[in-house]
Structure 1
Amino acid sequence: MILLGAILLIIGLLVGISLFTTIGGVLVLIGAVLWLLGATGRAVGGRKHYF
């Protein structure tokens, strides 16, 4: 999710499409939060690990 968000963020900044920039930023934030929660051992959505 973080990788997809970063790609959309870069494309949005280079092309000038604000929708891609917004969606990319949101995906990076959500991915980072889920990654941090998973790294601390806290179950997210009923799962301990996401593969």
Structure 2
Amino acid sequence: MLSWALIFLIVGIVAGVLGLSGIAGAATQIAWILFVVGLILAIVFFLMGRRPPV
């Protein structure tokens, strides 16, 4: 998930440099959403892995 966020961030930066504002904005928003979702999932899985087995 974080790798997809990184890919969309790179696409957004490249599109911004080339002046494609619509594509850059969309790619940046997708990258931000994927980064936040990936970070939340990483925290949840980290906390769930520390519980003792039932």
TM-score by length of structure 2 reads 0.68
Per the alignment, residue 8 of structure 1 pairs with 8
Aligned residue in 1 for 2:34: 27
User: Once the two structures are superposed, what CA deviation does each residue of 1:10-40 show, in whole Å capped at 9, x if it has no partner?
Assistant: 2102212110011011101101100111011
CA RMSD of aligned residues (A): 1.3
Higher helix share: 2
Structure showing greater relative contact order (alpha-carbon pairs closer than 8 Å, 6 or more residues apart): 2
Q: Which residue of 2 aligns with 1:37?
A: 44
Q: Which runs of 5+ in 2 are unaligned?
A: 17-23, 50-54
Aligned to 1:47: none
> Considering only CA atoms, is the larger Rg found in Structure 1 or Structure 2?
2
Structure 1's consecutive aligned runs of 4 or more residues displaced over 4 angstroms after TM superposition are none
| TM-score, scaled relative to structure 1 | 0.72
